[in-house]
Amino acid sequence: MHTIVEAFGGIVTGEDAAKGLHRALPNEDWPAQLYRVLKAAQVRQVSYVPDAGHSELIRLFAADPGVVSNVLTTEEEGIAIATGAWLGGSRSVLLLQSSGVGNCVNMLSLVTMTRTPLLMLVTMRGEWAEFNPWQVPMGLATAPVLAAMGIRVMRADMPRDLIETVESAATLAFEAEQQVAVLLSQRLLGAKKW
Amino acid sequence: MATRQSVLDRREVVARLLAKRDNLLVVTGLGSPTYDVHAAGDHDGNYYLWGAMGAAALIGLGLAQAQPDRTVVVITGDGEQLMGLGGLATIAVSNPQNLVVVVIDNNHFGETGMQVSHTGHGLDLAAVAQSCGFKETRAVRDMKGVDEIARSLHAPASGARFFVVKVKAENPPRSLPARDAVHVKNRFRAHLGLGTM
């Protein structure tokens, strides 16, 4: 696995990540690629509140005896588990939906105060072709809330951006002890079918 | 009855729990439990919280999963654990045999003016943990019970354990560990042989 050192701050767009960094992996769908990238980053613990967009990744991790999976009752629990995992020398990832970011706000002070690596993969709702208006307020607030708590926000709008963005986020988190959220846009995921 | 007053002194209870700590790793919930554990003797294997209310037991879970050969003891208060009730369900699903949660329960929010907590209104945290699926749960009100918990910290278990120690509602003089969270983290990791970046 190659590593990418991000020399810039703030929001990294998929366009930036795609510049010269994209590697074609034509025969895999993106959840399978994501799983491979996270395994290559030596992720050994996964926490999640289920989301349809994460369902295949959750299934892949659940089937992996080398990874401990935790289903959460609320997303902030995952921030605490990630902290404990790192204390014990283990890398982890937190999978959640944008609405769950709102449930994490105060708990994010734990990882910023302790400078604990945090990698969150956030599936977005309330933006691209959203049917359910109840998803919109937290969808609008997701990136600003994370930024307000000192979390670095990166975003992938298309599948081709996603893998490079997550690879880069994992390096930032685990090598530079940063707290990083990658937002997986609803356009990438596809609008929820009703 | 959960609202009956206990006479146990929290500092004596925590000192007794950790008197023969050996290889135990200890995570402390914010407020009095952090001070109690520090008063019992600072240690590189202590991870003190000054915030993140509701996180203590779940930090214990993440740590227990990462260090399956070490016993992790979470020492927290009733108010802190009440904020993380859902976390008891999450811990019980994983049910690590090397995780022990001990709630020092004084029926009150001691740090904020001794307001009566839910346990003071009768909520039984050990029963909640049992209902969630913890393998062993118990509430104790005397030193004999505390000594049994202290011994069980070093005994093999079949899953996660959850103990409540009912104590007197009082605020002993504060015993303050470092508030530099990066320092405490790095010190703890170094204790496990893990490096800094």
Residue B79 near residue B54, CB atoms below 8 Å: no
Q: Do A110 and B89 touch (CB under 8 A)?
A: no
Range in A2-11, A73-82, B106-115 the model is least confident about: A2-11
Work out the number of other CB atoms within 10 angstroms of the CB of residue A30. Answer: 22
Instruction: Please tell me which residue of chain A has the smallest CA distance to B186.
Output: A87
Residue A16 phi, psi (nearest 5)? -60, -45
With 0.90 as the threshold, say if the pTM is over it. Answer: yes
Of the candidates A45, A85, A110, the beta carbon closest to that of B52 is on: A110
Q: Which residues in B lie closer than 8 A to residue A93 (C-beta atoms)?
A: none
Residue B57 near residue B129, CB atoms below 8 Å: no
Domain layout of chain B by residue ranges: 10-191
Please determine, looking at this structure, whether the domain spanning B10-191 carries the CATH number 3.40.50.1370.
Answer: no
Q: Which residues in A lie closer than 8 A to residue B51 (C-beta atoms)?
A: 109-110, 113
Q: Do A87 and B58 touch (CB under 8 A)?
A: no
* Helix (H) or strand (E) segment spanning residue B127: helix B125-132
The pLDDT profile of chain B, 197 residues, written as one tens digit per residue, is: 445 678 999 999 999 999 999 999 999 999 999 999 999 999 999 999 999 999 999 999 999 999 999 999 999 999 999 999 999 999 999 999 999 999 999 999 999 999 999 999 999 999 999 999 999 999 999 999 999 999 999 999 999 999 999 999 999 999 999 999 999 999 999 999 999 88
- Reported as a single tens digit per residue, the pLDDT across A42-72 is 999 999 999 999 999 999 999 999 999 999 9
- pLDDT of A111 reads 98
Report the pLDDT averaged over residues A67-78: 98
Q: Do B182 and A115 touch (CB under 8 A)?
A: yes
What's the mean pLDDT when you consider all of chain A? 88
Give A91's strand partners. Answer: A43
A109 and chain B: CB distance < 8 Å anywhere? yes
Q: Helix crossing, B181-191 with A76-87: angle to 10°?
A: 50
B94 and chain A: CB distance < 8 Å anywhere? yes
Q: Which residues in B lie closer than 8 A to residue A89 (C-beta atoms)?
A: 66-67, 189, 192, 194
Task: Please check the confidence at residue A158 and state whether its pLDDT lies above 80.
Answer: yes
Q: Do B52 and A44 touch (CB under 8 A)?
A: no
B51 and chain A: CB distance < 8 Å anywhere? yes
Q: Which residues in A lie closer than 8 A to residue B182 (C-beta atoms)?
A: 113-115
Q: Which domains does chain A have, with CATH numbers?
A: 34-132+160-176 (3.40.50.970)
Report the pLDDT averaged over residues A176-181: 98
The per-residue b/e assignment along A153-184, b for 16 or more CB within 10 angstroms, e otherwise, is bbbbbebbbbbbbbbbbbbbbbeebbbbbbbb
Helix, coil or strand: residue A82? helix
Task: Please check the confidence at residue A142 and state whether its pLDDT lies above 80.
Answer: yes
Measure the N-to-C terminal CA separation of chain A; round to a whole number of Å.
39
Structure tokens at A159: 């599948």
Report the pLDDT averaged over residues A158-169: 93
B37 and chain A: CB distance < 8 Å anywhere? no
Q: Do A115 and B188 touch (CB under 8 A)?
A: no
- pLDDT of A27 reads 59
Residues 5-34 of A with CB under 8 A from B: none
Q: Which residues in B lie closer than 8 A to residue A68 (C-beta atoms)?
A: 65, 94
Helix, coil or strand: residue A183? strand
B187 and chain A: CB distance < 8 Å anywhere? no
- pLDDT of B5 reads 78
- Reported as a single tens digit per residue, the pLDDT across A89-140 is 999 999 999 999 999 999 999 999 999 999 999 999 999 889 999 999 999 9
Of the candidates B51, B184, B192, the beta carbon closest to that of A89 is on: B192
* Helical ranges in A88-183 per DSSP H: 98-101, 108-114, 136-148, 159-176
Q: Do A89 and B194 touch (CB under 8 A)?
A: yes
Q: What whole-number distance in Å separates Cα of residue B47 and Cα of residue B72?
A: 11
A92 and chain B: CB distance < 8 Å anywhere? yes
Q: Which residues in B lie closer than 8 A to residue A104 (C-beta atoms)?
A: none
Of the candidates B59, B184, B192, the beta carbon closest to that of A84 is on: B59
